[in-house]
Structure 1
Amino acid sequence: MITSTTNPHVKRLRSLRDSAKERRGERSLLLEGVRLVAHAFAMGARPRLLLYAPAQLEATPAGAALLAQLLDQPNCWPASPVAVAAAAATREPQGVVAAFAWPALSPRPGLRLVLDGIQDPGNLGALLRSAEAAGVGLVVCAPGCADLYNPKVLRAAMGAHFSLPLRSDPDWERLNDELAASPLVYVADAQATQPYYTADWRHAAALIIGSEAHGPSPPARALATQALAIPMHGRAESLNAAVAGSILLFESLRQRSSIV
């Protein structure tokens, strides 16, 4: 059993936790917690490296079920709770932390979602979770977004990385090429006059959600064919990016679901 916090496996996981450069270099992501790791296994992913604390996992039914899977898997090492905690990103780890390869999923039919300068990891992860639930065919993170594989993004996305096609940090010229097949490119803009529910989401389209603080960037506005707003009756000037994006995504799903 691994007990030292300076063990090479612990140090490797910690480097993935702390460094976007390391994550990009290895094309690895760091997952922790019973639910996220179990979901990765359910999606067919297998860890490049996994540390688990048997006693912690045995303490809950879900943890015990995961432990039974880990016992015959390669690259899975028992460790003390202290060693697991040294590699984890949360204050109260659940006894399992693992490195997985970045999923490589091809774009599929459906709405294209462009995230433009979404810097808050919680908002970015929540948008990915909503995009997966709404059947988005591709998410593209434009320049200025938080790291798609930041541990906070992964926790907020709740496993969406394993079933949602993702592209990260293209330049705007490449992004124009990504959206060439989408004649409708909507941008969410609090200053727009057209309500989001009057747009036609039933055909090939893309949606751009801009920065929490600054709204859509100039390149995003130039790419858009229509600007949409969410009518509001309270005193708030705007909604946060995750809430606003989710409202638009599920309007798109509602309209597409009504097609006979």
Structure 2
Amino acid sequence: MVITSTANQHVKWLRALAASARDRRRERSFVIEGVRLVADALAAGAELRLALYAPEQLAATAAGTALLARLQTLSRCFPATPAVVAAAADTEQPQGVIAAVAWPELPPRPGLRLVLDEIQDPGNVGTLLRSAAASGAGLVLCAPGTADPFSPKVARAAMGAHFVVPLRLLGWEEIAAELGPYTVYAADSAGSQPYYAVDWRQPAALIIGNEAHGLSAAARALARQTITIPMAGPIESLNAGVAGSIILFEALRQRSADACAPSPRNNV
């Protein structure tokens, strides 16, 4: 049966989940929208807790048609009118599908640890999550004061990174314990060392601070050294998402170069 009422209980639950960080933490679920993001979540094995989809909208594209065929085989996935999907959605022009998925419980992996220190712009948080996933970071830690990484805006900006990179929301004492084996660097426009001079092949963690105020006192206390991105011209600092991404990909470059280096040969 197709859901036709915008007052449906599923619509209300999705809207409440999208609007409330407290609800997301209690339910350990978050809302995603759009054909690509929902398809990526399913491909990653995410637990789909509820989905509403408009069959006629999805059938308009090849990717939507493929997703439609998958959704029709799953429980807790309900066909609805485009108006119902739009009522549940957070975007102005929804693509015909909205879903709630469980928080991924990915175990930490080897690799760089990224700490988000009071990053408040959802776009920056999403960008950093996406760059962390793309650069092979082993764990992302969200410190107190950081925008909720499971908000709809962050989920859209991260473009599926939640299902790739391990993510934790921790207090500073827990972060310090987690980073015990790692050398901790903090990005700072007045840093003492260029970011590319760090040996990122070693166990390391990177802290990116608040967009307006920089590093918190807790971050500075934890960091062994501050690093900077040298720049030409009058610009004093970069967007937090851009700065963090530059450093993350320098770490990937170093690790990739090291992995591709020829093995030494024994003389005979």
Please give the range of the TM-score, normalised by the shorter of the 2 chains: over 0.9
1:46 positional shift: 3.6
The correspondence of residues 176-255 of structure 1 with structure 2, limited to 5 A, is: 176-182=176-182, 184-255=183-254
C-alpha separation in 1, matches of 2:130 and 2:212: 21
C-alpha separation in 2, matches of 1:46 and 1:214: 37
1:255 positional shift: 0.8
C-alpha separation in 2, matches of 1:156 and 1:248: 19
Letter in 2 for 1:85: A
Contact 2:115-2:205 within 8 A present in 1 as well = yes
1:106 aligns with 2:107: yes
Letter in 2 for 1:249: L
How many residues matched? 258
Letter in 1 for 2:234: R
User: Where does residue 173 of structure 2 map in the other structure?
Assistant: 173
**CA RMSD, 1 decimal:** 0.8
1:54 positional shift: 0.5
C-alpha separation in 1, matches of 2:136 and 2:181: 18
User: Where does residue 139 of structure 2 map in the other structure?
Assistant: 138
* C-alpha distance after superposition, 1:6-54 (max 9, x if no partner): 1011111111111111111100010110000000111112411100000
1:226 positional shift: 1.0
User: Where does residue 9 of structure 1 map in the other structure?
Assistant: 10
C-alpha separation in 1, matches of 2:101 and 2:28: 9
Contact 2:192-2:225 within 8 A present in 1 as well = no
Letter in 2 for 1:213: A
1:159 positional shift: 0.2
1:151 aligns with 2:143: no
Contact 2:112-2:138 within 8 A present in 1 as well = yes
The SS at the match of 2:106 is coil
C-alpha separation in 2, matches of 1:128 and 1:87: 25
User: Where does residue 80 of structure 1 map in the other structure?
Assistant: 81
The SS at the match of 2:140 is strand
C-alpha separation in 2, matches of 1:165 and 1:45: 13
The correspondence of residues 1-80 of structure 1 with structure 2, limited to 5 A, is: 1-80=2-81
C-alpha separation in 2, matches of 1:171 and 1:122: 22
User: Where does residue 257 of structure 1 map in the other structure?
Assistant: 256
Give the gaps of 5 or more residues in structure 2.
Answer: 262-268
What's the TM-score once normalised by structure 1's chain length?
A: 0.98
The SS at the match of 1:206 is strand
1:166 positional shift: 0.5
Letter in 2 for 1:34: V
Letter in 2 for 1:67: L
- Counting aligned pairs with the same residue, the percent is 65
1:163 positional shift: 1.2
The SS at the match of 1:250 is helix
Contact 2:30-2:102 within 8 A present in 1 as well = yes
User: Where does residue 264 of structure 2 map in the other structure?
Assistant: none
User: Where does residue 96 of structure 1 map in the other structure?
Assistant: 97
C-alpha separation in 1, matches of 2:201 and 2:47: 37
C-alpha separation in 1, matches of 2:168 and 2:181: 16
1:112 positional shift: 0.6
Letter in 1 for 2:119: I
What's the TM-score once normalised by structure 2's chain length?
A: 0.95
C-alpha separation in 1, matches of 2:164 and 2:27: 20
Letter in 2 for 1:22: D
1:256 positional shift: 1.0
